[in-house]
Amino acid sequence: MLSKLRDFSKSKLAGVLIAIIIIPFVFWGMGSVFSGGNTNNVVKINNKKISTQDFIEHINTSNIDPDQLRKNLDKNVLEEILGQLISLNILKMEIQNLGIFKSDKSLSESIIKEKRFLDDDGKFSRIKYEKFLIENNVTAGEFERKIREGSLQKELFNYISGGIKSPNFITKSLFLDETKQVNIKYFNLDKHYKNNFTDEEINEYINLNNDEFKRDYIDVSYTIITPNTLTDTDQYNARFFEIIDDIENEIANEINFEQILTNYNLKIEKKENLYNDESESFINTIYSKRSEDRTQLIETEDFYVLYEITNIENKIPEINDKNFFESVKEKLRSRNKFDFNKNILKEIEEGKFNESDFNKLAENIKIKSALIKSVDDNSLFNIDSLKMLFTIPKGDFLLIVDNSNNIYLTKVENYQYNNFFSEEDKIKYEIQSNFKIQNEITNSYDLILNDKYKVEIYNNTLERLKNYFR
């Protein structure tokens, strides 16, 4: 509010309108700015070099928004795009090395059969084809090249993983694993967590964690500045803001705080030993600026405050501070809870926790039973806990949480499996199993290609490209 008034008080009735012309960001022809040695190349794959012009053309043909590209340069977007181009080139080289090809006749047949180019009678429409090319701003040659490349890539992946059929036992194992249900028994650990602590325990914890509880306390001298205090009016006029500017200049010139008060006949107020003061929001602002210059002028919604921090002391609050006392108790509760759970987890991981330990902890606590029908059945526990629960063997123990972050000790009693393996299930899980195996083969093949083809990126050129795009 005050800043707006201040700006208005300084403005002239006659303003100057400045037109900003935004020049469209284009990539065409930028490759020409790179010359000499490797500066015209952005990457080398084996002996094949990819030029900056190749890279720029790839960006252009990828329909990438120039503004979005510019905005995300610092988020490695250019590196990601280059990575895509490298992958495409490696696939092309691998396809060539393996002798995989698609004849012109086969390519023509693929295009003719595409549904988007068929007329009402199911026949290829040259008009629809030409219209598609125009609407997408692509030539027939460019489109056919993309179709050929996509088809060859498909052939490559069929070559490395095609014909793979998952054995029946793997398919059924996947079905059983995904449709299993788990019987558990569990109980809430809340009664094992200590909630009440003596003054001696609290004081001991504070002494042991002295630095953790220390806070900065400040002494501050200040004065509130309004038009009345400077100009004897209620108006935020130009004269008022001129004096505010003078005060700011005096602060910048390191004029003594008391001297500034004297210069403008300002009354001083003092507050000591402040950590926080919710009754005065501007005090909180001053506190937040305690690491900055000791003397400052700050602006609030309704007035200015000129202040000086006269002392900062880092110390532990008084134990009679109710808020501090409660915060220490809460830390003690959290620490006790953490240590208790940690000890149980350690015993479980080391195989030292058994049924007897489970029952002992459950003394005077009701043990509940439940059938969890799927990993997505979060009616009792959160999803992350269920994901872990469904992976542990029968008889194992686990700490899990519900959707309210209550913690439970759980034992897997047994798993129930769906033995009805229908023909529909068989087809469904056979597809999933085949896809899983093919995906694993493809990932392995990707690693092989990364080793097979040596990739060298010219980082200096890439940085220069970034600068031009900016």
The string of DSSP codes covering 194-245 is: -----HHHHHHHHHHTHHHH-EEEEEEEEEEE-HHHHHSSS---HHHHHHHH
pLDDT of residue 82: 87
Contacts of 166 (CB under 8 A, 6+ apart): 430, 433, 434, 436, 437
3-state secondary structure 155-194: HHHHHHHCCCCCCHHHHHHHHHHHHCEEEEEEEECHHHCC
| pLDDT digit string, tens, across residues 42-90 | 999 988 899 888 888 888 877 777 788 888 888 888 888 888 888 888 8
Q: Is the pLDDT of residue 435 over 70?
A: yes
pLDDT of residue 251: 92
pLDDT of residue 39: 56
Least confident of 74-78, 311-315, 387-391, 444-448: 444-448
* Helix, strand and coil in the chain, % to nearest 5: 55, 15, 30
Contacts of 154 (CB under 8 A, 6+ apart): none
pLDDT of residue 3: 58
pLDDT of residue 278: 58
What sign does the dihedral 313-319-325-329 (CA atoms) show? Answer: positive
pLDDT of residue 23: 25
- Order of strands across the sheet with 48-51? 48-51, 41-45, 455-457
| pLDDT digit string, tens, across residues 239-270 | 999 999 999 999 999 999 999 999 999 999 99
| pLDDT digit string, tens, across residues 407-422 | 999 999 999 987 777 7
The helix/strand/coil state of 13 is coil
What sign does the dihedral 202-205-211-212 (CA atoms) show? Answer: negative
Local confidence band at 6 (pLDDT 50, 70, 90 cut-offs): low
% of the chain at pLDDT higher than 90: 32
| 438 vs 48, higher pLDDT | 48
| Beta bridge partners of residue 267, listed in sequence order | none
Local confidence band at 277 (pLDDT 50, 70, 90 cut-offs): low
Least confident of 343-352, 358-367, 376-385, 459-468: 459-468
- Rounded mean pLDDT of 393-410? 94
The position carrying tokens 């000791």 is 294
| Beta bridge partners of residue 221, listed in sequence order | 270, 308
Give the right CATH number for 25-169+423-470 from 3.50.30.10, 3.90.550.10, 1.10.3720.10, 1.10.4030.10. Answer: 1.10.4030.10
DSSP 118: B
pLDDT of residue 339: 94
pLDDT of residue 293: 84
The helix/strand/coil state of 285 is helix
Number of C-beta neighbours around residue 409 at 10 A:
24
| pLDDT digit string, tens, across residues 85-113 | 888 888 888 888 888 888 888 888 888 88
Average pLDDT, the chain: 82
Least confident of 147-156, 159-168, 288-297: 159-168
- Contact status, residue 396 vs residue 371, Cβ threshold 8 Å: no
Q: Is the pLDDT of residue 17 over 70?
A: no
Tallying the residues shown for the chain, one arrives at: 470
pLDDT of residue 36: 38
Local confidence band at 28 (pLDDT 50, 70, 90 cut-offs): very low
What's the Rg (C-alpha) of the chain? Answer: 36
Measuring CA to CA, which residue among 141, 149, 34 is closest to residue 89?
149
Give the Å distances, CA to CA, from 452 to 94, 95, 177, 259, 356.
Answer: 10, 13, 37, 76, 56
- Rounded mean pLDDT of 426-447? 75
pLDDT of residue 397: 96
Q: Which residue ranges make up each domain of the chain?
A: 25-169+423-470, 181-196+324-416, 215-315
| pLDDT digit string, tens, across residues 162-179 | 666 777 777 777 777 778
| 179 vs 217, higher pLDDT | 217
pLDDT of residue 24: 28
Cα(285)–Cα(282) distance, integer angstroms: 5
Helices 238-252/2-10 angle, 10° precision:
100
Alpha helices in 232-354, H assignment, sequence order:
238-252, 257-263, 281-288, 322-349
Cα(446)–Cα(215) distance, integer angstroms: 55
